[in-house]
Amino acid sequence: MQRKVISALLAGVVVLQAAMVVPVIAQAQEKPTKISTVTTKNETQTSITYVWKTDMKVSGYKIDRYQNKKWVTVKNITDPKVGSWKMTGLKSGTVYKVRLYKYIKTKDGCTYGEPVVYTTATNPPPVRSVKISTGKTTADVSWSRPSNCEGYTVMFYTGSDKNAKQIQLNDGCLNGLYLGSLKRKTKYTIKIQAIRTKRIDGKTYFFYSDWATKTFKTK
């Protein structure tokens, strides 16, 4: 009878010890969740702004950029309320890859979550040196072709741009176009935008330059 009681007590001690150990192991393995809803906004020729959903349960965020065939840390954000960052000093019309992840500070350093890899590109340079020679009902337009351009969007209109006519040029080697059937003695506005495409992760994306704007008047 005594042996059964002792065995039962020992079994209870083992169960109690196991129950106490399990939560400690689970806590040691805890790490931040993956960042969700990463997007970009306000891309320019030389900058990209990244935006993500914040998490108040973490200590901050870390951002690495892939350059020279390796990942390099470019930003360490220590405020979990911050949900955006602008990367500057970039080259126009160039693809950039970054990875973003959350981290939690611990006694032994930091615990990092799974990274999110995001790839996008800066905008191409704009069209420059727009020149226009007009006739009674025509306009001969020329411009300086930007580097690595693959096409153009051209808009021209009188008065408001709500009445604009749009022309799509899919040849980046072009550096001009001829407009006909215009109204005599009329002021026009023309806008030209350079386009460049990029293959990113198996998909084709379009990137647009700032508009080059010029006015002219027919004779």
Same domain, 110 and 133: no
Note down pLDDT in tens along the chain; length 219 residues: 444 444 443 444 444 444 444 333 334 447 899 998 899 998 899 999 999 999 999 999 999 999 999 999 999 999 999 999 999 999 998 999 999 999 999 888 899 999 999 999 999 999 999 999 999 999 999 999 988 889 999 999 998 888 899 999 999 889 999 999 999 999 999 999 999 988 888 888 889 999 999 999 999
State the residue range of the domain holding 204: 128-217
**Which H or E run contains 51?**
strand 48-51
Query: Strand, coil or helix: what is 64?
Result: strand
- 165 occurs within a structural domain: yes
> In which residue are the tokens 């420059």 written?
128
Domain edge (last residue) among 121, 149, 179? 121
Q: Spell out the long-range contacts of 73-82 with Cβ–Cβ below 8 A and sequence spacing 24 or more.
A: 74/98, 80/54, 80/55, 80/56, 81/54, 81/56, 82/54
165 plus 180 within the same structural domain: yes
Yes or no: say if 120 and 40 are a contact pair by the CB < 8 Å rule: yes
| Element of type H or E holding 191 | strand 187-200
Do 62 and 101 fall within a single domain? yes
45 and 88 housed in the same domain: yes
Residues 163, 95 share a domain: no
- What pLDDT sits at residue 7? 47
Q: Cβ neighbours of residue 181 under 8 Å, at least 6 residues apart?
A: 137
196, 187 in Cβ contact below 8 A? Answer: no
Residue 190 located in a structural domain:
yes
CATH number for position 95: 2.60.40.10
Task: Tell me the CA distances in angstroms from 84 to 23, 116, 127, one per residue in order.
Answer: 35, 14, 30
Domain boundary among 121, 147, 164: 121
Does some domain include residue 8? no
Are 213 and 136 within one domain? yes
Among 121, 149, 164, where does a domain finish? 121
In this structure, what token pair is assigned to residue 66?
């892939």
Domain count within the chain: 2
Whether residues 97 and 60 share a domain: the answer is yes
Structure tokens at 111: 């615990």
What pLDDT score does 160 carry?
A: 87
Residues 133 and 193 in one domain: yes
**How many residues are recorded in the chain?**
219
- 100 with 164, same domain: the answer is no
